[in-house]
Amino acid sequence: MFSKRGDLEKAPEVFYSAEKGDVSVWRAMIAGLAMHVRVRAAIDLFFKMQEAKVKPNSATFTNLLCACSQTGLVQEGQLFFNQMEPIYGVPPESQHYACLVNLLGRAGLLTEAVEVIEKMPIVPGDSVRGAPLGACKIHGNVEIAEQAYSRLLELDPENHAPYVLLSNVYAKMGKWDSISKLRKHM
């Protein structure tokens, strides 16, 4: 509660007064720090969690990966992702893949992001397939944006978000004819 409202003085005070055996207490504090872009502090707390012999869960990794994505900590994010199952026994789920794809995409590593999607051992959902579109707008990659758009429409033809996202990519690149065609198609 304190973290969500931005009180990063009171949140640690409550955290340090709580019983530390429960993963949810640690996860909540890590999430609060990550939410307010105190990513290094969140990562440090994750390592303190290990020292306290508290096993991280799926949500802990989601928080860490999202934090790394927000701040461009590609190597750290990839390391956490790659250690999830072999070291911590937490198999990556769709939301973890979405965070990883988003992390790579924001960093401009769009080809690597697409490779992650293609090699996923689970069926990629909307959040995973849609993650490259935002990055394509930032980095101006029309080809990958069009591929992501097509795959999103295959998953959910009634979803209008892919049209809007691809239109935004076209607008950034000044492809006004493509926007016109896309709107007619929509």
Q: Which fold has domain 1-92?
A: 1.25.40
Which whole number is the average pLDDT over 32-40?
A: 87
User: What pLDDT band is residue 161 in, cutting at 50, 70 and 90?
Assistant: confident
In this predicted model, what pLDDT tens digit does every residue of 119-130 receive, in sequence order? Answer: 999 999 888 988
Nearest to 129 by CA among 160, 157, 94, 93: 94
User: What pLDDT band is residue 111 in, cutting at 50, 70 and 90?
Assistant: very high
According to DSSP, residue 92 is labeled -
Alpha carbon distance 164, 20 (integer Å): 45
Residue 36 zone, left/alpha/beta (φ > 0; ψ -120 to 50; rest): alpha
**CA-to-CA separations, 138 to 128, 145, 169, 172, in angstroms, rounded:** 17, 11, 8, 8
> Is 55 in contact with 63 (CB distance < 8 Å)?
no
pLDDT at 134 over 70: yes
pLDDT for 20: 67
Domain boundaries, the chain: 1-92, 109-186
Residue 73 zone, left/alpha/beta (φ > 0; ψ -120 to 50; rest): beta
Alpha carbon distance 174, 46 (integer Å): 44
User: What pLDDT band is residue 143 in, cutting at 50, 70 and 90?
Assistant: very high
pLDDT at 178 over 80: yes
